[in-house]
Chains A and B, each alone.
Chain A
Amino acid sequence: MSKVGVFVCHCGTNIAAAVDVVRACEAAKSMPGVVHAAEYKYMCSEPGQQMILDAIKEYGLKRIVIASCSPRMHETTFRKMLKKSGVNEYLIEIANIREQVAWVHDDKEKATEKAIDLIRMAVAKVCRDEPLKSQMIPITKRALVIGGGIAGIQAALDIADAGHEVTLVEREPSIGGRMVMLDKTFPTLDCSACISTPKMVDVSAHPNIRLLAYSEVAKVEGYIGNFTVTIRQKARYVNHDICTGCGACSEKCPAKVPSAFNKGLSKRPAIYTLFPQAVPAKPVIDKDSCIKLKSGKCGVCEKICPLGCINYEDEDMEFTEDFGAIVTATGYQTADWAQMYDEYGAGRFPDVIDGLTFERLVNASGPTEGHIVRPSDGTEPKTISIIKCVGSRDPKKGRAYCSRACCMYAAKHARQIFGKIEGVRVFIFYIDVRTPGKGYEEFYDKTREDGAIYVRGRVSRIYKEGDTLICQAEDSLLGKQVRVKSDLVILETAMEPAEGSASVAGMLGAAVDGDGWLTEAHPKLRPVETQVGGVFLAGVCQGPKDIPDTVSQASAAAAKVIGLLNKNEMESSPMIASVEADKCSGCSACEAICPYKAITMGEQPGREAGGNSKKVMRPIAVVNAGLCQGCGACTVACRTGAIDLLGYRNRQILEEVDALWV
């Protein structure tokens, strides 16, 4: 009734030398359901496949077992072959008698017995195979990029250049991210703004890119090829359609608050652009510091604006867009060291600053126009200490990982200091110096040649002595306590996932690791994909990295997106979970265990519990074919056995088990 055909492959002598293939073939003939069995030298070859196709016709075979190499090798080959014959390509099982029998057992008798067992198991399973049909999922040919730092910019540009529409969402009023805050970049010491701002302009000018600054992703629904994303445009209080970005409003605004972009080294007005080269170069009103919005008095910007762009009634606006793929490029923030390091003054000493603050201090477009001065008194420091691994590589402070870029930017800071202050002394406290990268070790060597003094040891305490700060540490190479009088201390703080990245990950269904970094699908072989189909990773959101690595990863993610969007539709695997409605009690255990959020609770008509016949709607598990990856976790969680995995049904596996003991 099942009409199974068994085909035993010799694989030249690979199998035939260790397994009695003729005996295995004969044994197969008497297995239940088998109507035909044959052996041949190379089943995967053209004549081998033809032999199977002929046998299908001659014996009316409905199901096929091939005893050969691993299914990982030729399962697809034989499926394609079956498709040609008109038999459903999922009515096939492969008994792995090469990798798992012939190649690993010397005793021909035992190997043959095992091969026969495996064939019997495959026959038992194939009798329970069902014809499956993969669905074609249409693909929306648009991409969403979340985060407008250098990773998001690069990914958006690459995808847009390939001819696909891209929406770039950035929560700050301007794109640019962390990179535009930097003064120079290692190892070339070229100006960060000079290489990043042209890319920002490219984004705003690209016909395929829709830039949504001052916006956030509020909700993500759907699956690969078919995401529906709700985006929240935060109230800007300025009509960007008519604003020319003349800047008159910002000049006259009486409210002044510390500029986060300048790390509090300067103040900015309530109506502001993030920095002079901002893209879009149009201001927004920060509602928390605007006098008019807080107290109703003021309105200076409205009076001064020549075009009437100001609208104090503006509100957050939500809208939805459809996408086929999503790139996450949410980046990082530097750890709040003041919260963790009481021994470094916990922020009490103004001359203890973090690396990003130093970037603003040394930046030609920063608040001091690039003059390195002490924030406390504005004098030029003569001795500067740089402390690495502040927050990184320190499980006691909660982060065991290395932030990867700090060794290089500490060296870069030293080089920048040498370039700006004559006769300055720079001490760099380190645990290890890690400089893997093209031209990095040379850069580090040059830093030492320039005179940076590397001290191996973690600074245990910073305290004040008069006007200067004392960095106390154990120099672990000298085995002695050292105290370094410093006018300025720079802390190279740890990178940590940007605030809100966990909620973005949650919306996407993507996993985060213990430190909060988004997890790639495979650390080596799928480094830019998440385990959620159609969601890709770019930049530091996946783990600390420097600019070259970030840009590489962004382009890699873009390549994956382009590959996906170039298709009109994609085939989904039919080996997914399937719910038997009558049995489902709606307990939602499957929903909880599913790592892909592929199961949701729907409704079906039923009768009320308790024996009365009252009709009610009751919950039932519904599997989304686009999201389900076919892991089968739900099948084990299901208490009633209502949910099963197509291709690996409970009864198929049980038949395999049973077949071993006949």
Chain B
Amino acid sequence: MGINEATTYEPKILAFCCNWCTYTGADLAGLNRMKYPANVRVVRVPCSGRVNPQFILRAFARGADGVMVCGCHPGDCHYTTGNYFTRRRFMLMKKVLEFNGIEPQRFHARWISGSEAAKFRDAVTEVAQVVKALGPAATKVTTQASSKAPASADIESSVQKEGAL
């Protein structure tokens, strides 16, 4: 990475947001015209408990500089218990990432309710800063190799089997 590249470097961060809390909170941030860096791309999921760890590995493999998983506050899950599993799962996730040579600071799990627009703004702003300071992730797998990415082998195979629609 050259010096000029460093100054213009804008990380791409993927955020999995649950439909009921954080996605709503993100919408509310828009409604309130709050401003935050344009680095985050949101994927809407029904529940943070829907987020398979393999999605995260896949994002890093494809070149994500940071990944967020956001859901309802523990105890407030729309589906009662989904985010408890998320919480446990992603405590471990940090260690898995570290083991795989991905800085754990690139991965963030946050609880943001539908009314916490400011919290959403602050969270994505903070993560964008942290990730920007880390620089581009070194984990991007080249296209050829990534089609056989071991991290998401079984999902990958199902995609290949089904083929394009």
Contact = CB atoms under 8 A, between A and B. Distances in A.
Interface in A427-470: none
Interface string A311-351: 00000000000000000000000000000000000000000
A147 interface: no
Interface in A93-114: 96, 98-107, 110-111, 113-114
Interface string A629-662: 1111101110011000100101101111110110
A526 B77 CA distance: 13
Contacts of B9: none
Interface string A204-239: 000000000000000000000000000000000000
Given A633-B47, A636-B89, A645-B50, A654 B159 contact: yes
B72 to A, nearest CB: 10
Contact of A631 (B29, B46, B63): B46
Interface string A96-137: 101111111111001101100110010000011000000000
B138 interface: no
Interface residues of A, number: 54
Interface string B2-40: 000000001010100001000110110111011110100
Contacts of A640: 154
A118 B164 contact: no
B26 A632 contact: no
Interface string B154-165: 111011001011
B49 A105 contact: no
A72 B23 contact: yes
Contacts of B82: 595, 631, 633
A650 B80 contact: no
Contact of A110 (B10, B29, B49, B154): B10
Contact of B155 (A72, A631, A650): A650
B62 A657 contact: yes
Contact of B58 (A105, A635, A641, A658): A658
A648 B26 CA distance: 20
Contact of B35 (A72, A106, A575, A661): A106
A242 interface: no
A68 interface: no
A654 B50 CA distance: 13
Contacts of B42: 96, 100
Contacts of A100: 26-27, 30, 42
B47 to A, nearest CB: 4
A104 B36 contact: yes
Interface string A1-32: 11000000000000000000000000000000
B45 A117 contact: no
Contacts of B162: 651
Nearest to A532: B80
A145 to B, nearest CB: 24
Interface of A: 1-2, 70-72, 96, 98-107, 110-111, 113-114, 117-118, 121, 127-128, 511, 519, 522, 531, 575, 593, 595, 629-633, 635-637, 640-641, 645, 648, 650-651, 653-658, 660-661
Interface of B: 10, 12, 14, 19, 23-24, 26-27, 29-31, 33-36, 38, 41-47, 49-55, 58-59, 62-64, 78-82, 85, 89, 121, 140, 152, 154-156, 158-159, 162, 164-165
